[in-house]
Amino acid sequence: MSRRLPSLNAMKAFEAAARHQSFTDAAGELFVTHAAVSRHIKELEDYLGTELFTRTGRGVKLTDAGRRFGVQLTPLFDQLSDAAREAAAVGAARTLKVSVEPSIASRWLVGRLGKFSVLHPDIELSIEPNSKLTDFYVDDIDVGIRYGRGPWDDVEMAKLSEVVIFPVCAPKLLEGKLPFTFEKLADETLLHEHRKQWWTDWLASAGYKGEVAWRGTVFQNHLAIEAAEAGAGFALADQILVTDSLVEGWLKRPFAIDMKDHGSYWFVRKKGSRETAPARAFREWLMGEMVETNRKFAGLKTKEKEVKAPAEPAKDKS
């Protein structure tokens, strides 16, 4: 179907003049003369059969029709510019700068990046681990992976995964102690992340009302999980950070009890910004990988139930 469109140069002149509310400023942006802008806009008005500006002795003012047209036209020109830039970048490397918490970067993301590179060889990721929330208005960052409750006023957000919390430990700490109980936990070393209150919260959620010693080292970020893998004690972790270790057998779950955490993992970018093609590709890939991680965790929980389920009595064949 053929399209009946006004002159592109006329629309460019009008869009710039409408945005600046000035023919002079529009001429400066487009590197043309004031007279050229005025001529293009008159050409567009003749084509549309309506006035877009009223001319006064002190300048120009948008009419209602001009205001409505300008509001619609600016986003269209932005999309055209983005489309042209993306088309020009096909086959060339495009960099995406990603801010991510050190814990998820080290324990989950880094080992998976090879798969993303195979799928998107034209996108170069620049991973910047940082525990502080990125200020997209100041920092040179395109997107981020955040952990927390949200919402945050300064970002566009997409949820990657909800989180559940549970204890983990090295397999050797459970040898000869199964089935493991809360009372046995009271005799073990607890590894704490940031604050000791986390263990209190989990025990309360699990229904335990006894006393547990506070002894144990306090770690930052994911180091409590690393210490648990080394056999130093029992740590609390979420399913995204430790499912790989559970699958490999480096960690075990002494209890099949999860606590729903208030926080989640989120994909974020600057508020009001357009999602670029590299950002969209990375977001969709992250979502797929987290779905797969949660699927593996659900499989582990199913096996836990099968192990604990009582065996059916053998049928009498006599």
Q: Concatenated DSSP letters for 188-202?
A: SPBPEESBTHHHHHH
Domains 94-162+265-295 and 164-259 share a fold: yes
- Paired strand residues for 62: 53
Q: What is the predicted pLDDT for the residue at 310?
A: 41
Average pLDDT over residues 97-110: 94
Angle at which helices 34-48 and 8-20 pack, to 10 degrees?
Answer: 110
Q: Tell me, which fold does domain 8-89 have in CATH?
A: Arc Repressor Mutant, subunit A (1.10.10)
Mean pLDDT of the chain: 86
Residue recorded with tokens 């003049």: 17
Average pLDDT over residues 56-80: 88
Q: What's the rounded Cα separation, in Å, for the pair 48 and 155?
A: 39
Q: Which of 144, 162, 165 is nearest to 224 (CA)?
A: 165
3-state helix, strand, coil in the chain (%, to 5): 45, 20, 35
Cβ within 8 Å of residue 258, ≥6 positions away: 164, 165, 166, 239
CATH hierarchy code of domain 164-259: 3.40.190.10
Q: What's the rounded Cα separation, in Å, for the pair 293 and 288?
A: 9
CATH class of the domain whose range is 94-162+265-295: alpha beta
Q: What is the predicted pLDDT for the residue at 313?
A: 41
Q: What is the predicted pLDDT for the residue at 262?
A: 83
The per-residue pLDDT for range 133-143, each reduced to its tens digit, is 888 888 889 99
The ranges assigned to domains in the chain are 8-89, 94-162+265-295, 164-259
The per-residue pLDDT for range 201-252, each reduced to its tens digit, is 888 888 887 776 666 677 776 888 999 999 999 999 999 999 999 999 999 9
Q: Concatenated DSSP letters for 151-220?
A: --TTEEEEEEEEEEEEEEB-GGGGTT-PSP-HHHHTTSPBPEESBTHHHHHHHHHHT--S-----S-EES
pLDDT at 92 over 60: no
